[in-house]
Amino acid sequence: MSDVPDNSERLSRIKGALRQAFAPEELRVEDESHLHVGHAGAQSGRGHFRVRITAEAFRDQKLLARHRAIYDALGDMMQTDIHALAIHARAPGESAGV
């Protein structure tokens, strides 16, 4: 039996919240919890995720504002389900490095 929890329900909830908040052109949410087994932060049972999102809502927003908007969209999940979140947020037409 694996020490990594099945985060499929969490992935669905994260994707749903982000789709509802931003109507993204592109959205990928990856579960990276398996990379953090044994890490002190993983002991709480919350997951480690990577979000790649492209949405018009991010146009003319600075990086910090984009991250805050994503945290707000995820709401309580940031306290109950998500231990770590890597975010790559951009507006349509921006390079992936933004």
First-to-last C-alpha distance (Å) of the chain: 39
DSSP 33: G
The position carrying tokens 């990577």 is: 50
Beta strand spans in 1-98 (E): 26-31, 47-54, 82-90
Delimit the domains of the chain by residue range: 25-90
Report pLDDT digits (tens) over 9-33: 999 999 999 999 999 999 999 998 8
pLDDT over 70 (residue 3): no
Q: Which CATH number fits domain 25-90: 3.30.70.930, 3.40.30.10, 2.40.50.140, 3.30.300.90?
A: 3.30.300.90
Q: What is the pLDDT of residue 2?
A: 47
Instruction: Tell me the whole-structure pTM to 2 decimals.
Output: 0.83
